[in-house]
Amino acid sequence: MSAKTSRRQLLSALAAGSAGLALGACKPKEQTAASPSHQKTVHWKMVTAWPRDFPGLGEGANFLAEAINAMSGGRLKVTVYGGNELVPPFEVFDAVSNGTAQMGHAAAYYWKGKVPEAQFFGAVPFGMNAQETNAWLYEGGGLDLWQELYAPFNLVPFPAGQTGVQMGGWFNREIHSIEDIRGLVMRIPGLGGEVLKRAGGSPKSLPGAELFTALQTGNIDATEWVGSYNDLAFGLYQAAKYYYYPGWHEPTACLECLVNKKAFEALPQDLQAVVRHATRATNAQLLDNLTARNKSALDTLIHQHQVQLRRLPDDVLAEFKKHAQAVIAELGASSPMAQRIYTSYRDFAQQVNGWMRISEQAYFQARDLST
Ligand code: CA
C-alpha cells in the first residue's frame, strides 16, 4: 500500500464520518456495521529462531505479537512459538515462505545459504551501527531492496529489533595477537564468520540454544552471541572466562520479522498498517531493552562470575577489518541484486558517516573529556 493510497483512504474515511455527522444519527447501524471492530478475527502463528521468552530476542518477538494484538483491537491475534516448538530455528524462513506459519522472527544472515544477499540486512562487519542502519532502511531505500529481495520467496520482511553494538564474544583462551586467531573454532554466523575464516579461524553457525554445550564440551573454542544481557542469560561465563569487545562483526544485528506475502496481502489495509508499525515499534523496543540492561548484566558477569573483560588487540581488529572489506565487496559482486544492495549500503554508509563523525562521534569524545 502506498502512502498516497492510505492518505486517500484516510481522507475518504474522514469525509464519510463528516457526512454521517451532518446527517445526525440517521444511519448509525450502517456505520457500526462498517467499523473495523466487526470484521472477523485473523489468527496468525509466529515462529521464532529463539527459545521462548528468551531475554531480549524472545522478548522482542513477544512485544511484536502483543503490539499487533493491541493495535488491531484483537482483530489480528498472533501466537508466538519458540525455536523447535513448531519448527527448528533455522527453518523459520521456509516455514513462513510456505505458509506453515504466517509470521517469523529471526535474523537475515541465517539464510545466507539460500539468499546470500540477505546478509547485508542482518549484520555487516565494521558496517553501520543501529542508528545509521535504521536511517538506511527506512529513509535510504534499504527496506525497499530487502522487500524486493524476499518477494520471490513469498515473503515480506520488516526490521524488527536492532541489537546495537554486540560483544566480540567468549573465548576459552586469551587473544594476544592475530596468531591466536589461527585455528580458532568459533561460532560466528554470517559475514563475520567468513572474515574469521580468512584470518585463519574456523567459523561455525549454530542456533543460540546449542552454544553453551558446544563451548563447554570444547566443540568450539569461542562463541559470540549478542551483548551482556543476552549472554548472561545463556550462562556462557560458565564455559569460557574471557569476554572480548567490541563486536566488530555485528555493529548492530537487525532482527527481522518475516511475513508470508499472501497472508499479508490478504489483510485489510488497516491491519497491514498495524503490522508495519508494530514491527517498527519492536525495532526500537529491542534496542531500548538491551541498552537499558547490558551494563548491569556486564557488572554481574565481572563481579559475581569473575569474567575477564578484554578488548580485542588492534592488530586483530585491523586484520579483521581488511578481510571484512574484501568479503563485503565480493558479496556485492556476486549477483546483480547484490550489486544494487551493496552500492546502496556503501554509498549511504559513506554519506552518513560524514555526519556521524562530527555529531555522535565528536559528542562522545567531548563527553569523555576529563574535567
Ligand atoms: Ca551475534
Q: Determine the structural domain holding residue 43 and report its residue range.
A: 3-23+39-162+253-292
Q: Tell whether 239 is covered by a domain.
A: yes
- Angstrom CA distances, 143 to 146, 148, 157, 173, 344, stand at 5, 8, 8, 40, 11
Q: Ligand 1 center to residue 66 CA distance, Å? A: 25
Clarify whether residues 141 and 288 are in a common domain. yes
Q: Ligand 1 center to residue 203 CA distance, Å? A: 13
Clarify whether residues 188 and 58 are in a common domain. no
pLDDT attached to residue 271: 98
Residues of the chain with pLDDT under 70: 1-38
- Report DSSP state, residue 252: -
Phi, psi angle pair for 37, to nearest 5°: -65, -15
Tell me the pLDDT tens digit for each residue of 69-121: 999 999 999 999 999 999 999 999 999 999 999 999 999 989 999 999 999 99
Clarify whether residues 46 and 62 are in a common domain. yes
Clarify whether residues 96 and 216 are in a common domain. no
Q: Ligand 1 center to residue 168 CA distance, Å? A: 9
Number of H helices, E strands in the chain: 15, 11
Q: Ligand 1 center to residue 187 CA distance, Å? A: 9
Q: Ligand 1 center to residue 211 CA distance, Å? A: 12
Q: Ligand 1 center to residue 243 CA distance, Å? A: 14
Clarify whether residues 321 and 358 are in a common domain. yes
Q: Nearest CA to 195 among 323, 53, 40? A: 323
Clarify whether residues 120 and 10 are in a common domain. yes
pLDDT attached to residue 54: 87
Q: Ligand 1 center to residue 14 CA distance, Å? A: 46
Q: Ligand 1 center to residue 205 CA distance, Å? A: 11
Do 254 and 123 touch, CB atoms closer than 8 A? Answer: yes
Q: Ligand 1 center to residue 365 CA distance, Å? A: 27
| CB burial string 90-101: b at 16+ within 10 A, e below | bbbbbbbbeebb
User: What is the chain's alpha carbon radius of gyration, rounded to the nearest angstrom?
Assistant: 23
Task: Annotate 134-200 with DSSP letters as a single string.
Answer: HIIIIISSHHHHHHHHHGGGTEEEEEEEE--S---EEESS---SGGGGTT-EEE--HHHHHHHHHTT
Residue matched to cell numbers 455527522: 21
Residue matched to cell numbers 444511519: 27
Q: Ligand 1 center to residue 2 CA distance, Å? A: 34
Q: Ligand 1 center to residue 209 CA distance, Å? A: 13
Report the CATH number at residue 244: 3.40.190.10
Residue matched to cell numbers 554509498: 347
Q: Which residues pair with 42 in a beta bridge?
A: 76
Q: Ligand 1 center to residue 250 CA distance, Å? A: 6
Q: 131: how many CB neighbours lie within 10 A of its CB? A: 15
Q: Ligand 1 center to residue 340 CA distance, Å? A: 25
Tally of residues, the chain: 371
Q: Ligand 1 center to residue 207 CA distance, Å? A: 11
Q: Nearest CA to 273 among 122, 119, 68? A: 68
pLDDT attached to residue 12: 43
Overall number of domains in the chain:
2
pLDDT attached to residue 113: 92
Task: Annotate 334-347 with DSSP letters as a single string.
Answer: SSHHHHHHHHHHHH
Clarify whether residues 174 and 46 are in a common domain. no
Strands 169-171 and 76-81: unpaired
Q: Nearest CA to 78 among 275, 273, 261, 262? A: 275
Clarify whether residues 144 and 207 are in a common domain. no
Strands 308-311 and 242-245: parallel
C-alpha to C-alpha distance for 250 and 193, rounded to whole angstroms: 11
Clarify whether residues 337 and 355 are in a common domain. yes
Q: Ligand 1 center to residue 125 CA distance, Å? A: 11
C-alpha to C-alpha distance for 32 and 169, rounded to whole angstroms: 56
Report the CATH number at residue 139: 3.40.190.170
pLDDT attached to residue 244: 98
Clarify whether residues 220 and 174 are in a common domain. yes
Q: Ligand 1 center to residue 177 CA distance, Å? A: 22
